[in-house]
Amino acid sequence: MAEQTSGEKKDRKTISLDASLYEQVREYCDDNGIRLAAFVEEALENAMDMKEELKYLDEAESLIAEVQGERERAYRRGYRVGLLAAFFAAQGHLGVSMSYCAQEREVKEARFRIVDGDGQLELFK
């Protein structure tokens, strides 16, 4: 709501309400010491902002669903890797051969490889 200076008048319009609704709003405002016009103006401004708030709520819900999907995929992947590890452990192997995890091995090697000599200069290119 814009502030009004002493020299300018606010342009006011009239709205019509059902008599019973008007009485309920009037009684609520009287009980809480609120001006009726201020209460109605604030309620209408909040109603207009509701569309944007609902948009943010929808975005939050979609993010929550996305996180839940990622969590479920992580659980499934953990189950597969754990099942594979348990299978090999039951056969007497202490670890899983890296050939069974080639994709992860490539990522690890590319990311954490030890670089010495001229290879260090390549890191800055």
Q: Mean pLDDT for each 10-residue chunk of the chain (125 residues)? A: 55 84 92 91 87 90 92 85 77 61 51 64 66
Rounded to 10 deg, the angle between the 19-32 and 36-90 helix axes is 80
Q: Single out the residue of 107, 90, 86 nearest to residue 98, CA to CA.
A: 107
pLDDT at position 98: 55
Q: Do 33 and 22 touch, CB atoms closer than 8 A?
A: no
Q: Where are the domains of the chain?
A: 19-114
- Look at the pTM and tell me if it is higher than 0.95: no
Q: CA-CA distance, 36 to 25, in Å (whole number)?
A: 7
- Per-residue 3-state assignment (H helix, E strand, C coil) for 64-116: HHHHHHHHHHHHHHHHHHHHHHHHHHHCCCCCCCHHHHHHHHHHHHHHHCCCC
Distance CA 107, CA 53 (A): 41
Tell me, what's the pLDDT at 48?
85
Which pLDDT value is given to residue 1?
45
pLDDT for the residue 5: 54
* Local structure of residue 31 (DSSP, 8 states): H
Are 85 and 96 spatial neighbours (Cβ–Cβ below 8 Å)? yes
Question: CA-CA distance, 21 to 42, in Å (whole number)?
Answer: 17
Q: What is residue 9's predicted lDDT score, i.e. its pLDDT?
A: 64
